[in-house]
Amino acid sequence: MYKAQRLHPAAILEFIFRNLYKLAQALLPLIILALGESAFRSWFLTFLPIVLVLFIVYMIFYWLRFVFYVQDNELRLEYGVLVRKKRYISFERIQTVQVSAGVIQRILGLVKLQIETAGGGNKAELILPAISADKAAELQKILQKGKVFNPDVPDKDRLIQYRLSSSDLLILGSTSNSLGLILAGMLTIVSQLDKIIPNLKIWEVLGKYASNLMAGTVYITILVIIFIILLACLLSLLGNLIKFAGFTLIRDGDNLKISRGLFEKKQLSIPVKRIQALKIVEGILRQPFKMVSIQVVSISNVGDKGEGNVIMPVIPRHKMMDFLEEVLPEFYRPFEVEMLPNRSKMRYILINFIPATVLVIIIFLFLPFAYPGLILLPLAIWLGSLQYRDTGYSLQESMLIIRSRILGKVSTIVPRRKIQSLSISRNYFQVRKNLNTLRVSIASGVVPANVKLVGMDDEKSSVIIQWFSR
């Protein structure tokens, strides 16, 4: 690792496709204009193959000049054809190292290694798109431990390992929060069919079909809705099976190592000291199964949409404490919380009841059978009461636990030294009742993550502020 090394030649393809994609995005309007004008089209099509050949030759030279090595507790990178560039990344700045492998990379025995630093923004600081798996493992150990790689294989019996069973994957996929996103995506696709296939007249067909449903029985409408929901559940199940197949979590010393994926195998290593907070998420669909997911808040953005922060996608609630005691004893704490004062309960009820009342009025104005919509009013009162009951906090010697609910219940465990700031705000109605809103800011990626408690007693908030200041 102390000698300059090149990437595998397969990296040339990665460089070509990645840069072509960026160029196509930037030049798409000009390309459309060139193809639309017959005078420019012939010139464009004539010079396009020549430009592509020159571009490929340039990428080959770029690969030849792209080298990396480790020296003086730094990962050093040198690259560039016309302008030679150097980049030095200190081990201390490295937050996470993620290793992934697509189907082609796995066939060739290669992986892609992504390195993220505290100041790297919302993307990986450095990507090595094609290196051998052995070299990636060696580099990963050096970067995260800051010392020379020890080739000794650790004793697997001493490692703490957790795997997802087939039944866990089934529950994970069928209770995922992605159901709403899939339904929205299905609607978006349908909305664009008129533009893609103008003769289809999809909205006219759906309008007639909806009219027929309205004129028919309520049972037919319910069956159609159930079919759409079942289809979304199936798509969600398949997506989660592909994403989390083969999920394995290992606590190896001071690092959490996560491996998952069916087609693209991903391996993520998270240093425990980089974890800012822990979240226990009880999704509304998983609560009947008494299952929870465990996530971490870290200065990390590697992974799609924060998925790298999920350290246990689903686990039975009664096994959660044993899991924390074994895997993350640094965050092992009792979960009893102190409820908010009774005078803040009305706020939680009204914040749901008022929008529900407006929605019921709209339903009565525009829908023929609107009386079933009245069920929204008691549901809103029930949800508000549930949110109030499940919101609270626990103040311990070195930890602050905050629990809240919108639909699902989320418990956040934050060490005092990881809190960036605490703030208190009050509106007119809170001042009259000696209440406030407490906000806790935690470092997370580009922008801090905020956790808040609405309806805190003034005296209790002062105690938390003094605890934090101490």
Q: What is the mean pLDDT of the chain?
A: 79
Residues 18 and 91 in one domain: yes
Whether residues 148 and 182 share a domain: the answer is no
Residues 22 and 62 in one domain: yes
- pLDDT value for 111: 87
Torsion angle (degrees, nearest 10) of CA 452, 458, 459, 463: 30
**Residue 302 domain-assigned (yes or no):** no
pLDDT digits (tens, 9 = 90+) for 309-368: 888 888 888 888 988 888 898 888 887 889 999 999 999 999 999 999 999 898 888 776
**What's the alpha-carbon Rg for the chain, to the nearest Å?**
27
Grouping H, G, I as helix, E, B as strand and the rest as coil, residue 108 is: helix
Percent share of the chain, pLDDT over 90? 17
Per-residue model confidence as pLDDT tens digits over 67-95: 888 888 888 888 888 888 888 888 877 77
Q: Kindly indicate the confidence band of residue 155, based on its pLDDT and cuts at 50, 70 and 90.
A: very low
Query: Do both 24 and 121 map to the same domain?
Result: yes
Q: 447 pLDDT exceeds 60?
A: no
User: pLDDT tier at 157 (50, 70, 90 boundaries)?
Assistant: very low
Highest mean pLDDT among 196-210, 256-270, 454-468: 454-468
- Range in 266-280, 372-386, 414-428, 450-464 the model is least confident about: 266-280
Q: Are residues 13 and 99 in the same domain?
A: yes
For residue 187, name the pLDDT band (cuts at 50, 70, 90): low
Confidence of residue 156 (pLDDT cuts 50, 70, 90): very low
Task: Say if residue 75 is in the same domain as residue 207.
Answer: no
**Looking at the domain assignment, is residue 279 inside a domain?**
no
The Cα 128–Cα 404 span in angstroms is 40
Residue 355 located in a structural domain: yes
Give the range of the structural domain holding residue 219, as residue numbers without chain letter. Answer: 172-244
Whether residue 86 contacts residue 74, with contact meaning beta carbons closer than 8 Å, is answered with no
**pLDDT at res. 242:** 79
Residue 148: pLDDT above 60?
Answer: no
Interior angle at CA 51, CA 47 and CA 54, nearest 5? 145
Q: Is 86 exposed, middle or buried (0-12, 13-18, 19+ CB in 10 A)?
A: exposed
Distance CA 47, CA 128 (A): 32
- 53 inside domain: yes
Given a contact cutoff of 8 angstroms between Cβ atoms, the answer to whether 436 and 343 are in contact is no
- The helix or strand, by DSSP H or E, that contains position 421, with its residue range, turns out to be strand 419-425
How much is the average pLDDT of 111-118? 80
Tell me how far the alpha carbon of residue 284 is from its chain's centroid: 18
Collapsing DSSP to helix, strand or coil, 436 comes out as: strand
Largest CA distance in the chain: 77
Is 58 part of a structural domain of the chain? yes
Number of domains in the chain: 3
Domain edge (last residue) among 152, 182, 198: 152
Given a cut of 80, is residue 263 above it in pLDDT? Answer: no
pLDDT at 403: 93
Q: Is residue 18 domain-shared with residue 114, that is, in the same domain?
A: yes
Q: Same domain for 109 and 236?
A: no
